[in-house]
Amino acid sequence: MATQLAVEGVGQAGRPRSVWWALVFLALAQFMVVLDGTIVNLALPSLQIEMGINDSTRSWVVTAYALAFGAFLLLGGRIVDFWGRKRTFIVAAVGFAAASLIGGIAQQPWELIGARALQGIFAALLAPAALALLTVAFPGGKDRGTAFAIFGSITGVGAAVGVLLGGFLTEHVTWRWCFFVNVPIAIIALAGVWFLVTESNAQGSTKYDWPGVILAALGLGSLVYGFTNAEHGWDAPEAWGFIAAGGVLMALFVLVEATVKHPLLPLRVVTERNRGAAFLASFLSGAVLIGGILFINFYIQIVLGFAPFLAGLASLPMTVALIITAGLVAKNLPKLGAKIPTATGPVFMAAAMLWLTQVSAEGNYLVNMLPALLLMGVGLGMVFVPMQNLALFGVDKDDSGVASALVNASQQIGGSLGIALFSTIAVTATAGGVSPAALSSGYAAVFLWAAGVAILIVPVALLLITIDRKKFTGTEGA
């Protein structure tokens, strides 16, 4: 069995303040990782002009991070388990801060995109390390549900705060501080974990599945690249060719994982139906959250003409709605279980996106945007709280790192594919037009597709989630 995480002052009888402080610093690391996925969104127009980046390259400032993050998360999860969770966390925090500095001082587009990819690689170590440490620190009971509710809500809050903070820094300082801001956050998280958490790691073989690593990275990269190139037409070889190649590579990846002795992704982690539901929900919600919010910000800033910070403030109602909803869901999770909020939240998300299909060049924030943002916040709060807990429920401690990685990987992969697919849809719908009316038409098409993606989570939750609510929340026998 895995060595138990030791947090200073924690005994078997209860969870004193030190373990909850450890949760604060672990959640801060997760906040930074998610924050970085959206903080550059409102900075894109400014950095595009300063760096001389064309429209087709612009999306790679966001996609490079999400793709590298998703492609290397499974490897990161295994490194976390075998090399040591605390050790990996510390190295990843230092690396993430260094990559952020490189991005902040970048002078060429390739330097900026390279720094974003480097951030994604270190995030692929940091995120599963944080979640694995949390999993072992809270092995069960009501405290586990509370801890995971807090940690899960960080995903939506971090994404929304990233937009607000990115807008403020871009307008009042410089877009480069969207990278520099990670340095103090990383230092604080690192210091807290350094003093409060002792090492833990899985027992057994430490051999790595390098064929699986290569197939997963190439397969995911090929899929995202293919969807990105589809903006030139779905019949273009660089679109369907890479998409087909990505599908073949991912099929080979599954075959390898089913046959190798030490798989990168043990299929037992994903074939349990409740965890499988969580990973699918994470994938689909990532596409809606990361891909959809990008185009919400484009509409607010480019069509409605909001300045970066004002555009960030405009997204704040979604954050508030998410925090309130997450708190209510967490409080009532013992009564609700996982199925009800996971199946209901996507309905609110889809309703938000359908509302946004009415955007136009003459649109109004209070009418066209505010109701949708509130609905989106409610929907995300309902999904994120049970999703993190469900994805790690019942997983073997030796697999906690890879399971932690997979819940993050599925969301980031969904986000990178969402950005690629939605960018293609937007370009196709606008037919090359750059007027506010043409752009609004393209964004409306994106929101319609995003609504369809969101509603797919409902049957996933209804058909696959079967776990008893008392077992899920650790209240059985209470």
DSSP H stretches of helix in 230-315: 237-259, 267-271, 273-286, 293-298, 308-314
Q: What is the pLDDT of residues 268-311, one digit of tens each?
A: 888 888 888 989 998 899 888 877 877 888 888 888 988 877 88
Residue 8 sits at φ, ψ, to 5 deg, of -55, 130
Is-contact 465 338, C-beta < 8 A?
Answer: yes
Given a cut of 50, whether residue 4 has pLDDT beyond it is no
CB neighbours of residue 124 within 10 Å: 28
Which band of pLDDT confidence, cut at 50, 70 and 90, is reported for residue 378? very high
Terminus-to-terminus CA distance in the chain, angstroms? 27
Q: pLDDT-derived band of residue 470, with 50, 70 and 90 as boundaries?
A: low
Mean pLDDT value across the chain: 81
The pLDDT of residue 91: 93
Nearest to 7 by CA among 15, 397, 129, 131: 15
How far is the C-alpha of 315 from the C-alpha of 323, rounded, in Å? Answer: 13
Quote the Cα angle for 89-90-92, to 5°.
65
Give percent of the chain above pLDDT 70.
86
Where are the strands (E) in 127-198, listed by range?
A: none
**Residue 48, Cβ density class (10 Å: 0-12 exposed, 13-18 middle, ≥19 buried):** middle
**pLDDT tens string 174-190:** 889 989 989 999 999 98
Q: Output the pTM of the full model.
A: 0.75
Which of 44-48, 191-195, 249-253, 363-367 bottoms out in mean pLDDT, i.e. has the lowest?
44-48
Task: Say what the pLDDT of residue 473 is.
Answer: 55
Q: Using the 8-state DSSP alphabet, how is residue 195 labeled?
A: H
Measured CA to CA, the distance from residue 467 to residue 458 in angstroms comes to: 16
- Region 208-227: mean pLDDT is 82
For the segment 104-114, what is each residue's pLDDT rounded down to a tens digit? 998 888 899 99
